[in-house]
């Protein structure tokens, strides 16, 4: 016996039209394997006259939210409009009406995830948003279901395709940040205003969603420390290459002494680490579970069909469960407290521009020592096309961030240093 599922769809952009195309393509198969007939009955769009990337013959296209929200005959609501205002109204109304909801809305889940999940649990309807993190990579369901045996001890992710593309170009082709960004824009991997991506904010939002999945609880985005990639330059990549390291913009969630470190920043990792081989616009989530050990999932983190693939899987997931109580619970309990930024300890690579004169390195090393920062290695070289400037690269053992910032400030004030010292974190045990 077949079961007809009537969908109401908000948004018919790239992901929405990709979804329609997948539903068409898989219709016969889904009917045969699970006896389910998916029908997109209505779609709400901003501009009803716009041409779409899919057939819309059998779909009632409207611009009125209520055409879907007040239609009792619909079985499932799909929210693909993005943003947090209208989308929030849509999701809340649907959940309050006891309609299952599938969303791909990262910003919404990052901002209101726990509130919406609580609503869904109260209404006893599923609310899935696999596509909100990592596009087609099934990371949320894997955390929720396949790794249910595990406490996730740490999770490290490359979850922004734009920045990973830029960093790959800088690493492999020796491009400057600016040139790499230019290429990313030309290929459609970077927005006209790339701030959101290159400053790490996109990764920060996704990390917050991942954190809620591995820990339960609520983690305000603003409490996740975040640095982007705009300050990286060719010298950093040369340093990395010399030390068999790779520079990646990582989103990290690391359990430590009952607390959680949540941070997004450029990170030096070993070339042998699986994340180092994640190239171009690809995304990856690397995690360490107390039973399963190390697991990595990688794939395309964006794009019409990869994202729609995840949305479709959420829809089928809901449809194949005969009862909404058979939906695996997302954790809603206890928020773990976030380790304060100044208390985070990592190894660091530091870089200072100096006057090439005897004694400067000694002055820098003394300041580091005074701040209880232990030096692992120092090397210096002349700045190209300069008569009197040198660059000093320093690797220091695990140190407190607060001490490091203090030390760099002092070094900056030395008479024979130039400009501001910079640092990149090194992670060897993720």
Out of 48, 98, 146, 377, name the contact with its own copies by CB under 8 A: 146
Residue 142 binds its own copies (CB under 8 A):
yes
Q: Give the torsion sign (CA, 369, 373, 376, 379).
A: negative
CA atoms within 13 A on the CB side of 50: 16
**Catalytic residue of the set 99, 169, 206, 248:** 206
Residue 276 binds its own copies (CB under 8 A):
yes
Out of 65, 297, 365, 380, name the contact with its own copies by CB under 8 A: 297
Of 269 and 368, the one with the shorter C-beta distance to its own copies is 269
Of 69 and 158, the one with the shorter C-beta distance to its own copies is 158
* Contact yes or no for 152/143 (Cβ under 8 A): yes
* Contact yes or no for 224/207 (Cβ under 8 A): yes
Q: How far is the CB of 280 from its own copies (least distance, A)?
A: 10
Q: Which of 48, 39, 46 is nearest to 80 (CA)?
A: 46
Quote the CA–CA distance of 31 and 306 in Å, as a whole number.
22
End-to-end CA distance of the chain: 50
Residue 385 binds its own copies (CB under 8 A):
no
Q: How far is the CB of 340 from its own copies (least distance, A)?
A: 27
Q: How far is the CB of 80 from its own copies (least distance, A)?
A: 15
Quote the CA–CA distance of 430 and 426 in Å, as a whole number.
10
Of 177 and 282, the one with the shorter C-beta distance to its own copies is 282
Residue 27 is among the residues annotated as catalytic for this protein: no
Q: How far is the CB of 391 from its own copies (least distance, A)?
A: 30
Q: How far is the CB of 235 from its own copies (least distance, A)?
A: 24
* Contact yes or no for 54/12 (Cβ under 8 A): yes
Q: What is the dihedral of CA 221, 223, 224, 229, to 10 degrees?
A: 90
Classified as helix, coil or strand, 99 is coil
In the block, tokens 């300069």 appear at: 386
195-206 burial: b if 16+ Cβ within 10 Å, else e: ebbbbbbbbbbb
- Residues sharing a CB contact under 8 Å with residue 216, sequence separation 6 or more, in sequence order: 330, 331, 332, 333, 334, 335
- Residues sharing a CB contact under 8 Å with residue 296, sequence separation 6 or more, in sequence order: 274, 275, 284, 285, 286, 287
Of 154 and 204, the one with the shorter C-beta distance to its own copies is 154
Q: Which two tokens stand for residue 213?
A: 């999945």
Binding mask 299-328 for its own copies (x = CB under 8 A): xx--x-xx-xxx-xx--xx--xxxx-xxxx
Of 56 and 150, the one with the shorter C-beta distance to its own copies is 150
Instruction: Give 420's strand partners.
Output: none
Residue 230 binds its own copies (CB under 8 A):
no
Residue 389 binds its own copies (CB under 8 A):
no
Q: How far is the CB of 401 from its own copies (least distance, A)?
A: 30
Of 48 and 325, the one with the shorter C-beta distance to its own copies is 325
Binding mask 255-274 for its own copies (x = CB under 8 A): -----------------x-x
Quote the CA–CA distance of 352 and 393 in Å, as a whole number.
7
Of 11 and 289, the one with the shorter C-beta distance to its own copies is 289
Find the binding residues for its own copies in span 24-83 (CB under 8 A).
Answer: 26, 30, 32-34
Residue 138 binds its own copies (CB under 8 A):
yes
Find the binding residues for its own copies in span 149-168 (CB under 8 A).
Answer: 149-150
Residue 291 binds its own copies (CB under 8 A):
yes
Catalytically annotated residues: 206
By CB under 8 A, name the binding residues for its own copies.
Answer: 18, 22, 26, 30, 32-34, 130, 136-138, 141-142, 145-150, 272, 274, 276-279, 282, 289-300, 303, 305-306, 308-310, 312-313, 316-317, 320-323, 325-329, 331, 333
């Amino acid at each position: 016996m077949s079961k007809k599922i009537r969908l109401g769809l908000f948004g018919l952009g790239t992901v929405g039209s990709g979804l329609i195309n997948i539903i068409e393509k898989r219709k016969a198969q889904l009917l045969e394997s699970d006896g389910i007939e998916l029908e997109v009955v209505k779609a709400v769009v901003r501009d009803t006259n716009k041409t779409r990337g899919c057939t819309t013959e059998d779909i009632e296209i409207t611009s009125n939210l209520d055409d879907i929200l007040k239609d009792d005959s619909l079985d499932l609501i799909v929210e693909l409009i993005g943003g947090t205002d209208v989308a929030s109204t849509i999701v809340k109304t649907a959940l309050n009406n006891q309609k299952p909801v599938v969303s791909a809305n990262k910003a919404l889940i990052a901002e209101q995830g726990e509130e919406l999940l609580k609503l869904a649990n109260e209404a006893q309807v599923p609310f899935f948003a696999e596509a909100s993190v990592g596009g087609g990579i099934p990371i949320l369901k894997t955390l929720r279901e396949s790794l249910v045996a595990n406490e996730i001890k740490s999770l490290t992710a490359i979850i922004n395709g734009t920045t990973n593309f830029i960093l790959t170009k800088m690493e492999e082709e020796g491009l400057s940040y600016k040139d790499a960004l230019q290429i990313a824009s030309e290929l459609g991997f970077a927005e006209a205003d790339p701030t959101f991506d290159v400053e790490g904010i996109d990764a920060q939002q996704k990390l917050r969603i991942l954190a809620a999945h591995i820990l339960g609880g609520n983690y305000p985005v603003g409490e996740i420390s975040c640095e982007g990639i705009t300050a990286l330059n060719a010298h950093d990549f040369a340093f990395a290459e010399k030390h068999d390291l790779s520079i990646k913009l990582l989103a990290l969630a690391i359990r430590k002494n009952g607390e959680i470190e949540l941070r997004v920043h450029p990170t030096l990792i070993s070339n042998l680490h699986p994340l180092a081989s994640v190239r171009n616009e690809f995304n990856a989530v690397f995690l360490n579970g107390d039973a399963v050990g190390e697991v990595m999932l990688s794939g395309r983190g964006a794009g019409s069909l990869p994202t729609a693939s995840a949305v479709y899987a959420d829809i089928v997931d809901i449809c194949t469960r005969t009862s909404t109580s058979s939906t695996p619970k997302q954790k809603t309990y206890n928020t773990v407290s976030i380790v304060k930024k100044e208390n985070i300890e990592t190894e660091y690579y530091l870089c200072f521009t100096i006057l090439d004169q005897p004694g400067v390195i000694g002055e820098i090393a003394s300041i580091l020592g005074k701040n209880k920062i232990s030096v692992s290695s120092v090397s210096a070289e002349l700045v190209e096309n300069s008569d009197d400037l040198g660059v000093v690269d320093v690797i220091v053992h695990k140190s407190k961030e607060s001490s490091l910032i203090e030390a760099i400030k002092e070094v900056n004030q030395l008479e024979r240093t130039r400009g501001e010292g910079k640092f990149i974190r090194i992670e060897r045990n993720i």
